[in-house]
Amino acid sequence: MAAGSTDRKIDKLIHLLVQNAMVVVPGPKIASEIGVTRSTVWMWMEKLRSLGVEIKGVPSSGYRLVKIPDVLVPSLIRPELDDNQIGHTIVHYFRVGSTNDAALQLASRDAPHGTVVVAEEQTSGRGRLGRTWYSEPSSGIYVSVILRPPLAPTAAPVLTLMAGIAAQQALVSATGLAVDIRWPNDLLVGGRKVCGILTEMSAELDRLHAVVLGIGINVNHSEMPPELKKIATSLRMEGHKAWSRVQILIALLRELERHYGLLLADGNESMTRRWAAASSYAQGKRIRVVQGHDEFQATTTGLDSTGALRVRREDGREHLLVAGEIMEVR
Ligand code: BTN
């Protein structure tokens, strides 16, 4: 078990409650099936309640689940992924610094391709360009996926684009909302960000050892903090309802499996074409480009096969963006 990760027995407890959903399960039965004391069962029930899991205690009879819980534990996710490689091992935390840090550490200890690290809360979630990632407990999805691609380090940007397309398709299929992708891989609903992706890796000159795709999705936040209100939103705020994080994570892991397979089978160019078809930012979008201290306005003119964005400045000069940040100019 990874340090600090969720005790498999709590996972088993949630599974047992779900399998017996809506019936009263006696405390001693739960304790003996899981192999813990009754007081531990009581303590864990309190912990689950504090995370919003609705469990009714029926005096001298036992416990009854009021509603299927929306907790991202392996026992609720793993069975939905068939024989997929992505998600064959899922490490869950109730609270962790950053799932990317936990995944990078697991990767350095030889965790296999497809290992997933997921948390209900991050205390130091990281974003691109040295920013922090707002990680409200039990409202968002904070997940990192370890990939071991048989590819050169130059393929890393296309892996990031692949993750953006996979996340877009997962959100569209799970919610029906219209989701755009802003280069390189921010997902937007109604022009504001609902999902960000941070790709980190360990590599040698000619080979990627491990890539960690860190994905943060604002799912059930009922509002965003004041400093983010103008630029970020949540699926709940846009769809006017709460969504199942469990179902969204399952959809995301399935789409990552599918698109990773497509990238290996069809190559970079096919993936960048898919990206261009999925994003309003690929062609003809007026943008502001921020590259360190440099800022300028330009219009997008397509992607090259490495995933770099072509732009034309107002004076006609052409640029190829390989990193940095862009914003739409309205
Ligand atoms: C960005 O848009 O700036 C990227 C945000 C990435 C956030 C996710 S949440 C899961 C993973 N763990 C982290 O610390 N960051 C990524």
Pairing state between β 90-93 and 116-119: parallel
Atom of ligand 1 nearest to the CA of 128: 3
Pocket test for ligand 1, best of 105, 198, 233, 325 (most atoms within 8 A of CB): 198
φ/ψ of residue 257, rounded to 5: -60, -45
Distance 36 CA to ligand 1 centre (A): 36
pLDDT beyond 90 at 292: no
Q: 24: helix, coil or strand?
A: coil
pLDDT at residue 52, as a whole number: 81
330's tokens: 């309205």
Under DSSP, the state recorded for 206 is S
Q: What is the mean pLDDT of the chain?
A: 94
pLDDT at residue 60, as a whole number: 84
Pocket test for ligand 1, best of 121, 126, 195, 252 (most atoms within 8 A of CB): 126
pLDDT at residue 56, as a whole number: 92
φ/ψ of residue 37, rounded to 5: -80, 165
Of the candidates 53, 64, 47, the one whose C-alpha atom is nearest the C-alpha of residue 6 is: 47
pLDDT beyond 80 at 324: yes
Of the candidates 275, 285, 320, 283, the one whose C-alpha atom is nearest the C-alpha of residue 161 is: 275
Query: Quick one: which H or E segment has residue 264?
Result: helix 245-266
Pairing state between β 208-217 and 318-321: unpaired
The answer to whether 146 touches 152, Cβ cutoff 8 Å, is no
Distance 65 CA to ligand 1 centre (A): 32
pLDDT at residue 8, as a whole number: 86
Q: How many angstroms separate the CA atoms of 149 and 209, rounded? A: 8
pLDDT at residue 206, as a whole number: 82
Split at pLDDT 50, 70, 90, the class of 203 is confident
Residue nearest to atom 11 of ligand 1 (CA): 214
pLDDT beyond 90 at 53: no
Please report how many Cα atoms fall inside a 13 Å half-sphere around the Cα of residue 237, on the Cβ side.
Answer: 20
User: What count of other Cβ atoms lies within 10 Å of the Cβ of residue 316?
Assistant: 6
Chain segment 135-179, per-residue pLDDT in tens = 999 999 999 999 999 999 989 999 999 999 999 999 999 999 999
49's tokens: 């309640």
Distance 136 CA to ligand 1 centre (A): 13
Split at pLDDT 50, 70, 90, the class of 194 is very high
Atom of ligand 1 nearest to the CA of 100: 12
Beta bridge partners of 93: 119
Under DSSP, the state recorded for 63 is E
Chain segment 301-318, per-residue pLDDT in tens = 999 999 999 999 989 999
pLDDT exceeding 90 applies to what percent of the chain? 81
Give the residue-averaged pLDDT of 280-296: 93
φ/ψ of residue 35, rounded to 5: 85, 35
The answer to whether 89 touches 112, Cβ cutoff 8 Å, is yes
Give the residue-averaged pLDDT of 232-246: 97
Q: Tell me the one-letter amino acid at 217.
A: I
pLDDT at residue 50, as a whole number: 85
Q: Which residue has the higher pLDDT, 291 or 226?
A: 226
pLDDT at residue 59, as a whole number: 87
pTM of the full predicted structure? 0.94
**Alpha carbon 182 to its chain's center:** 16
pLDDT beyond 70 at 1: no
Give the residue-averaged pLDDT of 191-206: 92
